[in-house]
Chain A
Amino acid sequence: MSYLFQQLLNGLQLGSVYALIALGYTMVYGIVRLINFAHGDIFMVGAYVGYFALSVYRIPFPLVFPLAMVVCAVLGMTIEKLVYKPLRFAPRINLLITAIGVSLFLEYFTSLRFVFGPNFLAYPQPFKIERLNIGGVTINSITIMIFAIVFLLLLILEVIVYRTRIGMAMRAVSYDKETASLMGINVDNIISFTFGIGSALAAVGGILYGIAYPQIHPFMGIMPGLKAFVAAVLGGIGIIKGAVCGALIMGIVEVLASAYISSTLRDAIAFSLLILFLLFKPTGIFGREESEKV
C-alpha cells in the first residue's frame, strides 16, 4: 500500500514538472491556435542554462531560476517574432510544420560540439538531499522543492491571468483577436508576452527536471514535450487548469504504468490512453465543444 502511495507521489512530482511545460503549450494554443512543437526544446534550453549556471559559472542556486527564465523567455519571444508572426494568417498546418522545423533546428544546433554537445551531461546537485519517511513513503527535499516552486508559480500565474490588466488582455485575445485589437489591445505584444511566460515556465521545468532526473542531453525535450502536450490536450487545450490537471494525471499514469505494468511499454501505454481519450472526448476534461457556424 505504501508502495502505491510512493508511486503516486512520484507521479505527482513528475506531473508537476509536466505542468510547467503544459502551461506553455496551452497558453500559446489558446492565443494563436498553434501547437508549438519547439516548446519542449525551450524546456531543454532552460535545463542547460541551469546546468551551465550551476556547474560552470557557479551562480548561486536561487538566482539560477530567474536567469534561465529570462533567457528562455527571450528565446521564445524571438522565435515568435522571427518565425511565427509572419505566418500568423497562414493555414494552421504551415505553422505546425514551421514549429516542427524550429524544434528540429534547436535540437540539432544545440547538439553541435561548440554549443551544448551531443552527450549526456550529469546535472549538478545544488544542495544536500534530505529524506523524510512518513508511513513507509519516502519524501525527499527535491520533491518538496518541486511542489513548492510549481505551486508558487501557479499562484503567480493565476494572479497574472485573472487579476491583472495584462491577464485580461491575454484572455481577450484568446477569445477573439480582432475584437481585442479593436478594443485597443496591442495584440502583438500580448502574444509575445504569452510566449515569454510560457517559455519562462518551461525553463523552470527544465531545471527542476534536471535536478530530479539528473541527466540532460539536447534531445531531452522531445518526450516530456510530447507528454506535456498530450496532457494539455487531455485537460482541454487552451484551458489553464486543464493543463495542470492533465499534466498531473499524465505524470501519475506514466509512473503507475511503469511501476505496475512495464517500464519499457510505459510510453506506449500513456499514449494509447491518450488516443482512447481523444476518441471519446476530444475537447478534453474541461474543454467545450467548438462548433462551426454554417
Chain B
Amino acid sequence: MSLLRVRDLHKNFGGLKAVNSFFLNISPGEFVGLIGPNGAGKTTVFNLLTGIYKPDRGEIIFEGEEITGLSPHRITQKGMSRTFQGIRLFKEMTVLDNIRTAYHPHIQYSLPDALFRTKAFRRKEEEAMEYLISLAKIFKLEKWLKAEARSLPYGEQRKVEIVRALVARPKLLLLDEPSCGMNPREVSELMELLTYVKERYSLTVFLIEHRMPVVMGISERIVVMDFGEIIAEGRPEEVRENPRVIEAYLGKSEWQS
C-alpha cells in the first residue's frame, strides 16, 4: 500500500510550466531523494504536495485519501510535514514557541479551557512541555529553547526547522535542502540525525538535496527532475550513471570539446 501517490501533476505560472506530468509513488518506510538542477521545479512539487499551491491538474493521494486542493494545515494534520529551503522559522518567537506552535494540533483543549485556566489546560500544557523538552534534548537544542529563534547560529536554526517538522508526528517528512549552508561536519551530523530520526519515529522521508554525497548516501531511491519533468528514477547507482541525468547537470557533451 503506498503512502503517497501522485498522478499526472501539472502546475503553470503564467506561461511557465513549472511542473509537468509529475508521477510519484512512495511506500511507507522509504527514503526517497529528489534532485535536479536549479529551477527544475523541486520546491514547487513540495509546495503542491503540502497544499501551498493548488495544482492545475492531477491528483495527490495520501494514505489512500485524496488530498489534492486541501489547505496546508489540513494536509499537515493528516500526517505530512515539511521544512523550507530558506529557513522559515517564526522570527519573533522563541525556539520553544516555534516548536510548540507546530505541536498545536496535538494539544487538545478548548478555548474556555484556556480562558479559565482549567485543570485540563494545565495538564495538556505540561504534557506538551515535557514532550517538547525531551525532544529538544535529543537534538541538543535545550539550551536554545528560551532564545529568540533568529538569534541562533544558522546550523542550529536548521535543526530547529527539522525538529519543528517532526513535532507534529508526521508519517511523511518532506525536507527541502536541509543541508543548505552547513559545513561538512554539520552535514555528516545531519545525515546521522536523519537516519536516526527515520528509524526511531518510523518515518517516510522525501528529501530535496543538492549535495550529491548526502542524497546518494542516504536515499534508497532517487527521482530526478529537469524543467518541471521527471527525467529519471531509480536506485542511486543507476541514476548516477544515467546519461540524461548527467546531461541535465553538466550539459550536452558537444560543448565539452
A-side residues, CB < 8 A to B, are 291, 294
Q: How far is the CA of A24 from the CA of B47 in the complex (A)?
A: 38
Closest beta carbon of chain B to A206's beta carbon, Å: 40
Closest beta carbon of chain A to B23's beta carbon, Å: 23
Q: How far is the CA of A294 from the CA of B52 in the complex (A)?
A: 8
Q: Write 5 A-B pairs (CB below 8 A) sorted by A numbering.
A: A291-B13, A294-B43, A294-B47, A294-B52, A294-B84
Which residues of A have CB within 8 Å of B84? 294
Closest beta carbon of chain B to A219's beta carbon, Å: 39
Residue of A nearest to B86 (CB): A294
Which residues of A have CB within 8 Å of B43? 294
Residue of A nearest to B50 (CB): A294
Q: Is the interface of A mostly helix, strand, loop or mixed?
A: loop
Which residues of B have CB within 8 Å of A294? 43, 47, 52, 84
Q: How far is the CA of A294 from the CA of B84 in the complex (A)?
A: 8
Q: How far is the CA of A10 from the CA of B13 in the complex (A)?
A: 42
B-side residues, CB < 8 A to A, are 13, 43, 47, 52, 84
Which residues of B have CB within 8 Å of A291? 13
Q: How far is the CA of A70 from the CA of B84 in the complex (A)?
A: 51
Residue of A nearest to B43 (CB): A294
Closest beta carbon of chain A to B108's beta carbon, Å: 29
Residue of B nearest to A289 (CB): B14
Which residues of A have CB within 8 Å of B13? 291
Closest beta carbon of chain A to B50's beta carbon, Å: 9
Residue of A nearest to B85 (CB): A294
Which residues of A have CB within 8 Å of B47? 294
Q: How far is the CA of A294 from the CA of B49 in the complex (A)?
A: 13
Q: How far is the CA of A294 from the CA of B85 in the complex (A)?
A: 9
Closest beta carbon of chain A to B10's beta carbon, Å: 17
Q: How far is the CA of A52 from the CA of B47 in the complex (A)?
A: 60
Residue of A nearest to B46 (CB): A294
Q: How far is the CA of A155 from the CA of B84 in the complex (A)?
A: 48
Q: How far is the CA of A115 from the CA of B109 in the complex (A)?
A: 61
Q: How far is the CA of A294 from the CA of B13 in the complex (A)?
A: 13
Closest beta carbon of chain A to B82's beta carbon, Å: 10
Q: How far is the CA of A291 from the CA of B84 in the complex (A)?
A: 17
Closest beta carbon of chain A to B29's beta carbon, Å: 28
Closest beta carbon of chain B to A290's beta carbon, Å: 12
Q: How far is the CA of A96 from the CA of B52 in the complex (A)?
A: 29
Which residues of A have CB within 8 Å of B52? 294
Q: How far is the CA of A291 from the CA of B44 in the complex (A)?
A: 13
Residue of B nearest to A291 (CB): B13
Q: How far is the CA of A5 from the CA of B162 in the complex (A)?
A: 66
Q: How far is the CA of A291 from the CA of B14 in the complex (A)?
A: 11
Closest beta carbon of chain B to A244's beta carbon, Å: 25
Closest beta carbon of chain B to A190's beta carbon, Å: 27
Interchain residue pairs A-B with the least CB separation, the first 5 = A294-B52, A294-B47, A294-B84, A294-B43, A291-B13
Q: How far is the CA of A280 from the CA of B84 in the complex (A)?
A: 31
Closest beta carbon of chain B to A5's beta carbon, Å: 41
Closest beta carbon of chain B to A73's beta carbon, Å: 37
Closest beta carbon of chain B to A291's beta carbon, Å: 8
Q: How far is the CA of A197 from the CA of B52 in the complex (A)?
A: 40
Residue of A nearest to B176 (CB): A294
Q: How far is the CA of A291 from the CA of B12 in the complex (A)?
A: 13
Q: How far is the CA of A211 from the CA of B52 in the complex (A)?
A: 53
Closest beta carbon of chain A to B135's beta carbon, Å: 26
Q: How far is the CA of A291 from the CA of B11 in the complex (A)?
A: 14
Q: How far is the CA of A95 from the CA of B133 in the complex (A)?
A: 41
Closest beta carbon of chain B to A174's beta carbon, Å: 18
Closest beta carbon of chain A to B6's beta carbon, Å: 19
Closest beta carbon of chain A to B93's beta carbon, Å: 18
